[in-house]
Amino acid sequence: MPTKLRSLDKALPLVGAKLAQVEALRDKWPPSGNMTENINRIKELVQETRSYLNRISLATPFSGRGHIELRSPRNAEDMKALTAIDLLLSVEERPPKVDHGGGDQMFVLYLGSKDSSGDYIGMAIRRKVLLCVYKLGGVIHQVETSQIKTSNFHHVVFQRVYQDAEVNITADFMSPWPLHHTPKRYRSNTLSGILHLDPQHTAFYVGGYPDDFNPPLELRFPKYRGYMKLSYINDQPLSLYNYKHAVNMDSDLRALTYVPAKKTVKKEN
């Protein structure tokens, strides 16, 4: 790994922590005269830095022991009828000595109510196949997609329009010949099409979840092991380095840059 990238890898989590400290200080300062201008400038710097973090092309490593909690999306109202999630996955095979039958199953992400009783959108790997799950108005919808092979990057685009969904996966995303799988489409016979997310009571967990959180049964799997990068939710860019909390994330595991191949994409027969 180049020296500059190694330094960046170590610095990014610290930048996120410093941002939180700056915001906390800003809220404590009394608004008066030039102080108000300084506070506004700090606010601008915070937003600029967050925007920078959200656009960095780094995939975050997960060791199977930790998780990341992101801030709830600000555009919850826009997500009611439409949700689009763009991410990269590269799964590592679990060592047999710690597998215990869970190597083919991993939690990927959860966005929904903090007590998991309300609406949500989630992803998991079940029997090596990516499963996209969403709950709308008490009705659970599931989309089984394609197999996620170990040690290969997969580009995943999940799109939901009301109660219907489509998932597009491109395997071997970083190779000279990426493979575009046939889109998996799900059409529901229900009319429960609105995603209700209360920003004040929404949790966004990636790679795992806290011990005191009881995830939906469809997502109740071991923590993620491998590399992951979240790119967008709807039109909002995301970065796993711009986190709210990070728990048991191994600092010895370095982030991975990715450069997608710009060659002809093979289609699945």
Average pLDDT, the chain: 80
How many Å apart are CA 119 and CA 97, to the nearest integer?
36
More confident call, 211 vs 74 = 211
Please report, for the chain, the start and end positions of each structural domain, with discontinuous segments joined by +: 3-53, 58-248
| Window from 22-26, 122-126, 172-176, 250-254 with minimum mean pLDDT | 22-26
Q: In the prediction, which pLDDT does 3 show? A: 39
The pLDDT-based confidence of 100 (bands split at 50, 70, 90) is: very low
Residue 250, pLDDT > 70, answer yes
Q: What tokens does 23 get?
A: 């915001």
241-263: b or e for each residue (b if 16 or more CB lie within 10 Å)?
bbbeebbebeeeeebbebeeeee
Residue 141, pLDDT > 90, answer yes
Q: What is the pTM of this model?
A: 0.77
| Window from 47-61, 78-92, 104-118, 168-182 with minimum mean pLDDT | 47-61
Q: If residue 36 lies in a helix (H) or strand (E), which one and from where to where?
A: helix 34-53
According to DSSP H, which parts of 83-197 are helical? Answer: 96-99
Average pLDDT of the residues in 262-266 = 54
Helices 34-53 and 3-28, axial angle in degrees (round to 10): 140
How many Å apart are CA 27 and CA 15, to the nearest integer?
19
How large a percentage of the chain has pLDDT more than 70? 68
Average pLDDT of the residues in 52-70 = 79
Residue 153, pLDDT > 80, answer yes
Residue 219, pLDDT > 60, answer yes
Average pLDDT of the residues in 85-102 = 70
Q: In the prediction, which pLDDT does 132 show? A: 98
What is 58-248's CATH number?
2.60.120.200
Nearest CA to 142 out of 224, 85, 218 is that of: 218
